[in-house]
Amino acid sequence: MPVAHHVLRHGAGAASGRTALRHDTRRRTYAELAADMRAGAEHLAATGTRPGDLVALLLHDPVDALVGLLAVDLVGGTGLVADPAWPVHQRAEVLRALTPAAVVHVPLPRAAPGADARADGRADGLGERPEKGAVGAPGVGPAPDDADLAWAGFSSGSTGRPRAVVRTRGSWTRSFDHVSRLTGTGAADTVLVTGSLASSLHCFAAVHTLAVGACALLAPGPTATTAALAASDVAHLVPSRLDDVLDALDAGMPSRLRTAVVGGAGLDPVQRARAAAHGLTLVAYYGAVELSFVAVDTGDGLRPFPGVDVAVRPQPGTSLGEVWVRSPWVSQGYLAGARGPLRRDGAWATVGDLAELPDGADAVGTDAPALLGPGSGPLVLRGRGDGAVLTAGATVVPEDVEAALRPVPGVRDVVVAGAPHRRLGAVVVAVVEADDRPGLRSHLERVARATLAPAQRPRRWYRLDALPRTPDGKIARAALGAAVAGTDPTARVGDLGVLR
């Protein structure tokens, strides 16, 4: 996925003086970015980083993080971008579980002022490339290969069981042309990146921008995002951040934004109508960190992303099916043997998302999945079969949150589910089995702040004297989930009281 060699070419060619990165008052031209990237790669190589090494980047500043990621790519390593919002102990747990070869805590050394990105004098800035697996001259790693493991990131919070997804370079870079065409992004554009690079959505947006030779404007956070609208042509964001942008446009905020690329949850008709009133084109997509792009919606519903076959395999006793994909963009899986929602069946893969069985789809295979095609209806998603909560572009696994909350004194058990939310897609809800005693909620909230990533922290808290259980003694998760989500009016779970 990272694009070090694209940056070298831009930095050594006609685009060398063009702005590549902006964040607050900081700027880097392509020539400066290429030189900084080389200097960082030289430092990594000199301090022992070798091709194939996993390198964790724990940097708060997004420019430093992106330069570090590119330097790791140039030296032939696999960059792992951590979330700066993680508590200290959570970072420690991630590092303990994944054992990276190197950890970058401080910004890598920058190039000397005026350094030439074409250190070897060649017009492409690449020089002679050593064989794959070898270490070349300082700052020059092995020749890029689509099969190299080039990026690792997290599919959700990582309390207790870190799940880092790793992917090959080609599984993202070969999709760049499709993304450019769908979004209309070109070298003359400024692309607004509205969130942390620890998110695959935003990291992909940044490196795709650099690959096409455009300017990546890094402006994480709602205030920075809306302030950057006047200087941006294309923005990558989650649905809740789209609402911030639409609110700013309604209020008369200056903007030259023409396209918003939205991932993480579906868009509602109100958002599309508001965007259309401002002449803003919306390109929404569905995917997962493990699967990358699956389907894209340019106004007529979710249709398979180029190169992707999408099948909906019927689930017994329901009108829904499980979404499976056959795609060149799928990741390699999880690092350190971690378990997660990714499952494979030959060339097909799924993370357990559910969808309506589409009208007009072709039935293929022994279990007769509905294969989406030109004559079928759009893909209509209906949540995650394993109970995972998709909130503001993040995937929260209930068991991770439950494991953090269950040891709190006074908690006999806890179940986590998702409740629909217009801006975030869903919010995390905790139902606690405990006596009604003062102070329990505040204790739980302190533990959540200390041990869980922001997306994992429950927004709503409920209490029951006893959680409902099935005849075999297991917690009735489906009934609890339906009760807190309000998706089934017949699902009533005793006295579901607000936890105080």
Q: Tell me, what's the pLDDT at 131?
A: 47
- Answer whether residue 270 shows pLDDT above 60: yes
pTM of the model: 0.79
Domain final position from 266, 283, 300? 283
Burial code of 31-41, b = ≥16 C-beta within 10 A, e = fewer?
bbbbbbbbbbb
Is there a single domain that holds both residue 184 and residue 137?
yes
Classify residue 454 by burial, with Cβ atoms within 10 Å: 0-12, 13-18, 19+. Answer: middle
- Answer whether residue 498 shows pLDDT above 80: no
Domain final position from 386, 413, 435? 386
The tokens for 229 are: 């609208």
Distances (CA, A) of 359 to 5, 350, 371, 375: 44, 21, 10, 9
Is there a single domain that holds both residue 135 and residue 237?
yes
- Answer whether residue 118 shows pLDDT above 60: no
Is there a single domain that holds both residue 273 and residue 303?
no
Q: Tell me, what's the pLDDT at 429?
A: 93
Is there a single domain that holds both residue 274 and residue 294?
no
Model confidence at 386, pLDDT cuts 50, 70, 90, reads: low
pLDDT digits (tens, 9 = 90+) for 404-441: 998 999 998 898 988 888 778 889 999 998 988 889 99
Task: Give the CATH number, domain containing residue 365.
Answer: 2.30.38
Q: Assign residue 31 a region: left if phi > 0, alpha if psi is -120 to 50, beta otherwise?
A: alpha
Is there a single domain that holds both residue 357 and residue 397?
no
Least confident of 83-97, 116-130, 366-380, 479-493: 116-130
Model confidence at 318, pLDDT cuts 50, 70, 90, reads: low
Burial code of 202-226, b = ≥16 C-beta within 10 A, e = fewer?
bbbbbbbbbbbbbbbbbbbebeebb
Distances (CA, A) of 201 to 71, 159, 195, 273, 409: 20, 21, 8, 24, 38
The tokens for 71 are: 């330097």
Domain final position from 352, 368, 386? 386
Task: Give the CATH number, domain containing residue 431.
Answer: 3.30.300.30
Task: Quote the CA–CA distance of 486 and 240 in Å, as a whole number.
Answer: 21
**Between 469 and 34, residue with greater pLDDT:** 34
Is there a single domain that holds both residue 259 and residue 341?
no
Is there a single domain that holds both residue 142 and residue 250?
yes
CB of 42 closer than 8 Å to CB of 138: yes
Task: Quote the CA–CA distance of 363 and 369 in Å, as a whole number.
Answer: 5
Is there a single domain that holds both residue 52 and residue 190?
yes
Is there a single domain that holds both residue 190 and residue 263?
yes
Classify residue 8 by burial, with Cβ atoms within 10 Å: 0-12, 13-18, 19+. Answer: buried
Distances (CA, A) of 389 to 83, 353, 385: 19, 11, 10
Report how many domains make up the chain. Answer: 3
What is the overall mean pLDDT for the chain? 85
Q: Is the dihedral of CA 281, 286, 289, 294 positive or negative?
A: negative
Mean pLDDT within 215-238:
95
CB of 67 closer than 8 Å to CB of 55: no
Is there a single domain that holds both residue 348 and residue 459?
no
Task: Quote the CA–CA distance of 176 and 182 in Å, as a whole number.
Answer: 10
259-263/281-288 β-pairing: parallel
CB of 464 closer than 8 Å to CB of 495: yes
- Domain residues for 363? 290-386
DSSP class of residue 229 equals: G
pLDDT digits (tens, 9 = 90+) for 368-379: 677 887 778 899
- Answer whether residue 213 shows pLDDT above 90: yes
- Answer whether residue 470 shows pLDDT above 60: no
Helix axes 4-12, 200-212, angle to 10 degrees: 30
